[in-house]
């Protein structure tokens, strides 16, 4: 049936316009966007007019009253992910929530409990998993090429890229800074590549060395220095019950020589590395995916061919990861399957992020009980 799943979108800002709307519009035979809501009604109306969306509201409660809505995308600032998600689930809708799941662990847990009670899908838009490089590496991992992965090194380090929007700068609205905003992506993808081993402890440090400086080069915009209380960078060590470990480095801004967005994996049969930042893998000698093998005689690096005759890797115009994420969500609803990124997995990531913040605060390693 054409457009069988009716979608409602809550929050009509950047991620709704750039990711969710195009994602749903990419599959007109499977879903249609029925309504959009934003507390700033002009935003909802502008998006509705631009994309021919039948209804625009200034509250999510009104949106949830529409019978035609089967699923809701939550694109508000992070402090509203939990209340909107829980209300949508309790009204019988499936939910795709933006990351981070919530501004605190208790809210993330309440979201997952609501999805279990309602028997509805809760998916999280951790779209890094859908980037071609991550998908390729996952196939090597699942085929056993790396063996048992005992170490992962995740990095999402921007030299400069402190968000210029105030909502990202207050813990009350965002739940945290770089760790909460971008650290979550690399943690989620790292855990997924490792097969979600059970985390048992976390040790972290957060930094606020640049974010309050008045004179700072930052092409991503400006913010009120006196009204920011979040971390601009963080590092962490996560230990797992099977003896494996993962380190995490993330930064909105750091005085280092390179932006670095990728994951390195070490396994007992091989290793691997994915790089997500295009500038880096476009550089000579850099490759977006590498698998490392020991033949007994030598070490061999496998790289996907980007010979023009057989096609470049990754392809020149790959589908957008966000679009794949929305498609995966809608397909999961229609097919009664699990989405690639489940709320339960999102809760694990939230639990580890929470432990890293608590460790940074206390200076101690924090035990994790999942």
Ligand X SMILES: NC(=O)c1ccc[n+]([C@@H]2O[C@H](COP(=O)([O-])OP(=O)(O)OC[C@H]3O[C@@H](n4cnc5c(N)ncnc54)[C@H](O)[C@@H]3O)[C@@H](O)[C@H]2O)c1
User: Residue 136 CB: number of other CB atoms within 10 A?
Assistant: 18
According to CB under 6 A, which one of 40, 50, 61, 258 is a site residue for ligand X?
A: 40
Name 18's Cβ contacts closer than 8 Å, sequence gap at least 6: 322
Rounded least distance, CB 364 to ligand X, Å: 28
Cis peptide before 100 (omega within 30 of 0): yes
Return the axis-axis angle of helices 343-362 and 105-118, rounded to nearest 10°: 160
Residue with smaller CB distance to ligand X, 271 or 346: 346
Residue with smaller CB distance to ligand X, 110 or 200: 110
Burial bucket for residue 165 (CB in 10 Å: 0-12, 13-18, 19+): middle
Q: Is 86 an interacting residue with respect to ligand X (CB under 6 A)?
A: no
Rounded Cα distance, 146 and 143, in Å: 8
Stretch that binds ligand X, among 47-55, 65-73, 75-83, 216-224 (CB under 6 A): 75-83
Rounded least distance, CB 54 to ligand X, Å: 18
Q: Is 275 an interacting residue with respect to ligand X (CB under 6 A)?
A: no
According to CB under 6 A, which one of 5, 7, 9, 10 is a site residue for ligand X?
A: 10
According to CB under 6 A, which one of 4, 14, 269, 364 is a site residue for ligand X?
A: 14
Residue with smaller CB distance to ligand X, 125 or 277: 125
User: Residue 45 CB: number of other CB atoms within 10 A?
Assistant: 17
Residue with smaller CB distance to ligand X, 10 or 121: 10
Q: Within positions 87 to 116, which residues make up the interface with ligand X, using CB under 6 A? A: 98-99
According to CB under 6 A, which one of 24, 80, 292, 329 is a site residue for ligand X?
A: 80
Stretch that binds ligand X, among 36-44, 246-254, 261-269, 346-354 (CB under 6 A): 36-44
Name 282's Cβ contacts closer than 8 Å, sequence gap at least 6: none
Rounded Cα distance, 275 and 131, in Å: 10
Stretch that binds ligand X, among 23-31, 72-80, 214-222, 334-342 (CB under 6 A): 72-80
Q: Within positions 117 to 156, which residues make up the interface with ligand X, using CB under 6 A? A: 125, 127
Q: What is the DSSP letter of 369?
A: -
Rounded Cα distance, 288 and 309, in Å: 19
Stretch that binds ligand X, among 6-14, 201-209, 260-268, 347-355 (CB under 6 A): 6-14
Q: How many residues comprise the chain?
A: 370
Q: Residue 13 has which token pair?
A: 């800002």
* Binding interface with ligand X (CB under 6 A): 10-16, 37-40, 43, 60, 75-78, 80, 98-99, 125, 127, 165, 167, 181
């Amino acid at each position: 049936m054409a457009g069988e799943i009716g979608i409602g979108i809550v929050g009509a800002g950047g991620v709704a316009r750039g990711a969710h709307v195009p994602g749903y519009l990419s599959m007109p035979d499977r879903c249609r966007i029925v309504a959009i809501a934003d507390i700033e009604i002009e935003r909802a109306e502008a998006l509705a007019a631009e994309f021919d969306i039948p209804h625009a509201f200034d509250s999510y409660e009104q949106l949830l009253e529409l019978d035609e809505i089967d699923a809701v995308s939550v694109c508000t600032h992070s402090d509203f992910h939990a209340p909107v998600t829980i209300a949508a689930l309790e009204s019988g809708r499936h939910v795709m929530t933006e990351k981070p799941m919530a501004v605190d662990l208790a809210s993330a847990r309440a979201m997952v409990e609501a999805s279990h009670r309602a028997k509805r899908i809760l998916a999280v838009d951790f779209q890094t998993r859908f980037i071609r490089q991550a998908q390729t590496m996952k196939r090597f991992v699942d085929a056993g090429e790396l063996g048992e992965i005992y170490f992962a090194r995740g990095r999402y380090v921007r030299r400069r890229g402190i968000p210029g929007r105030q909502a990202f700068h207050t813990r009350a609205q965002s739940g945290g800074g770089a760790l909460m905003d971008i650290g979550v992506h690399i943690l989620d993808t790292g855990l997924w590549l490792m097969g979600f081993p059970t985390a048992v402890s976390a040790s972290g440090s957060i930094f606020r060395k640049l974010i309050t400086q008045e004179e700072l080069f930052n092409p991503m915009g400006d913010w009120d220095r006196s009204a920011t209380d979040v971390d601009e960078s963080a590092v962490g060590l996560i230990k797992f019950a099977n003896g494996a470990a993962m380190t995490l480095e993330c930064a909105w801004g750091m005085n280092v020589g390179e932006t670095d967005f990728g994951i390195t994996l070490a396994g007992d049969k091989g290793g691997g590395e994915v790089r997500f930042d295009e500038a880096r893998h476009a550089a000579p000698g850099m490759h977006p995916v590498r698998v490392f093998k020991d033949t007994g005689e030598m070490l061999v690096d496998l790289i996907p061919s980007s010979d023009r005759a057989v096609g470049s890797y990754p392809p020149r115009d790959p589908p957008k990861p966000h679009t794949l994420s929305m498609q995966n969500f809608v397909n999961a609803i229609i097919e009664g399957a699990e989405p690639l990124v489940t709320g339960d997995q999102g809760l694990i990531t939230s639990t580890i992020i929470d432990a890293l913040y608590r460790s940074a605060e206390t200076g101690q390693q924090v035990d994790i009980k999942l």
